[in-house]
């Protein structure tokens, strides 16, 4: 019986030994003026049809809204919403040297090629394009489609979308342009209408 009482007392005392340090740390954080907690500093809300920085990005065949930027999570993730994509549009066949790219169809039907597989996804479905595997997509239905697209790690993808809207991509060498952002151009999309 004495051993059980000793263990119960020890279990109660040892966690309490760290309590003064915790209380001091919490009171210091609470008394510091105008400082946000780590959770509050990381919190950001981006509304429907809004871009994280307030300015949508266009590539000619769609509108892109940044939802989670590279800076929001130290380069671990870059998340965009791809809107107003019309059938026959979409990127060239390409692959990323260092990023996985995940696609989630919010609305519409979208054709994908990932490696040598072609598939059509509908709202609520997703597919992952692993790094170094050629891939592309194109809206397939009669209406517009919307996608969430995530790049992990973020790499240079945010800068790619910023630069791509200010360049004449038709006049650029696609191989050289893509390589600046750690991507390899494979060829035109098999979904492009000629």
Adjacency order of strands within the sheet including 183-187: 117-122, 109-114, 135-139, 93-96, 183-187
Query: CATH assignment of 44-187?
Result: 2.60.120.10
Work out the pLDDT band at 34, boundaries 50, 70, 90.
Answer: very low
Q: Is the pLDDT of residue 69 over 80?
A: yes
Q: Is the pLDDT of residue 51 over 90?
A: no
Overall average pLDDT of the 79-99 stretch: 90
Burial (0-12, 13-18, 19+ Cβ within 10 Å), 50: middle
User: Phi/psi zone of residue 75: left (φ > 0), alpha (ψ -120 to 50 degrees), beta?
Assistant: left
Considering only CA atoms, which of 123, 159, 167, 163 is closest in space to residue 141?
123
Domain residues of the chain, as ranges?
Answer: 2-39, 44-187
What pLDDT, on the 0 to 100 scale, is given for residue 42? Answer: 67
What pLDDT, on the 0 to 100 scale, is given for residue 2? Answer: 57
Q: Is the pLDDT of residue 20 over 70?
A: no
Q: What is the pLDDT of residues 133-187, one digit of tens each?
A: 999 999 998 888 999 999 999 999 999 999 988 776 666 788 999 999 999 999 9
Overall average pLDDT of the 54-74 stretch: 88
Q: What is the pLDDT of residues 90-131, one digit of tens each?
A: 899 999 999 999 999 999 999 999 999 999 999 999 999 999
């Amino acid at each position: 019986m004495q051993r059980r009482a000793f263990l119960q007392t020890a279990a109660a005392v040892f966690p309490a030994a760290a309590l003064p340090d915790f209380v001091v740390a919490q009171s210091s954080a609470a008394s510091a003026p105008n400082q946000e907690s780590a959770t509050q500093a990381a919190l950001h809300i981006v509304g429907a049809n809004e871009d994280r920085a307030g300015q949508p990005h266009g590539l000619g065949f769609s509108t892109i809204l940044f939802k989670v930027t590279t800076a929001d999570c130290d380069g671990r993730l870059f998340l965009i919403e791809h809107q107003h994509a019309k059938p026959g549009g979409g990127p060239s066949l390409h692959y990323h040297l260092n990023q996985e790219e995940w696609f989630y169809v919010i609305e519409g039907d979208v054709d994908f090629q990932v490696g040598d597989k072609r598939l059509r996804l509908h709202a609520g479905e997703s597919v992952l394009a692993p790094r170094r595997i050629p891939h592309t997509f194109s809206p397939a239905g009669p209406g517009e489609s919307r996608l969430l697209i995530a790049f992990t790690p973020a790499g240079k993808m945010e800068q790619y979308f910023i630069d791509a809207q200010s360049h004449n991509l038709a006049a650029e060498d696609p191989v050289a342009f893509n390589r600046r952002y750690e991507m390899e151009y494979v060829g035109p999309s098999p979904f492009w209408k000629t």
